[in-house]
């Protein structure tokens, strides 16, 4: 999560919403690490989670990330939660909860839906305060 937080801070420095994500491969090494790039890439799907899933899948040469774990600083949105299910991520660790836009413990609760055919183990509240402070600081500076 330390590395995911570093990616979130790097995103903030690029004027992106500060969210960072990391995928750990089956061997325990970092497979992909990135932050939100919606503005830089002009891509509404360029959330940190989607970027690392795509990078890890390209590295493994497979659309399913078997035995891989994902760390992200904020509760994934419904788009990213469903992508995590499609990628067959084993364990999802996230920092702060997101009542307004989250899709894991809020809103559609993607992993609990009958249309979701794989659910990772979910661990929330990891470095929650630091992740939430980063987001709060970012939005406070822009209001």
> Binding site for Zn(2+): which residues?
47, 77, 80
Say whether residue 121 binds a second copy (CB under 8 A).
Answer: no
In angstroms, rounded to a whole number, what is the distance separating the alpha carbons of residues 131 and 108? Answer: 22
Least distance (Å) from a second copy to the CB of residue 118?
11
CA torsion 87-88-92-96 (nearest 10°) is 40
Q: Which residues contact 32 (CB under 8 A, 6 or more apart)?
A: 22, 23, 51, 52, 53, 55, 56, 59
Residue 78 sits in the site that holds a second copy (CB under 8 A) = yes
* Residue (25 or 78) nearer to a second copy, CB: 78
Please identify, using beta-carbon distances, which residue of 9 and 37 lies nearer to a second copy: 37
Binding a second copy by CB under 8 A: which of 2, 28, 29, 114? 114
Least Å distance, CB 108 to a second copy, is: 3
Measured from the CB of residue 92, what is the shortest distance to a second copy in angstroms? Answer: 15
Scan for tokens 């909860």, then name that residue: 97
Adjacency order of strands within the sheet including 121-123: 30-35, 20-24, 69-74, 91-96, 121-123
Sign of CA dihedral 54, 85, 66, 120: positive
> Taking CB under 8 A as the rule, does residue 101 contact a second copy?
yes
Cβ of residue 102: shortest distance to a second copy, in angstroms?
Answer: 6
The helix or strand, by DSSP H or E, that contains position 139, with its residue range, turns out to be helix 128-141
Q: Which of 15, 43, 67, 121 binds a second copy (CB under 8 A)?
A: 43
Listed ranges 1-9, 19-27, 66-74, 108-116: which one lies at the site for a second copy (CB under 8 A): 108-116
């Amino acid at each position: 999560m330390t590395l995911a937080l570093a990616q979130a801070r790097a995103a903030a420095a690029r004027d992106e919403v500060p969210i960072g994500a990391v995928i750990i491969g089956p061997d325990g090494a970092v497979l992909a690490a990135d932050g939100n790039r919606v503005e830089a890439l002009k891509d509404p799907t360029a959330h940190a989670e989607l970027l690392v899933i795509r990078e890890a899948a390209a590295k493994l040469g497979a659309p399913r990330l078997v035995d891989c774990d994902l760390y992200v600083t904020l509760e994934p949105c419904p788009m990213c939660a469903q992508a995590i299910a499609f990628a067959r991520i084993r364990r999802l660790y996230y920092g702060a909860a997101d009542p307004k836009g989250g899709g894991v413990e809020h809103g559609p609760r993607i992993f609990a839906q009958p249309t979701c055919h794989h659910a990772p183990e979910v661990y929330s509240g990891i470095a929650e305060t630091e992740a939430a402070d980063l987001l709060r600081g970012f939005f406070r500076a822009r209001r």
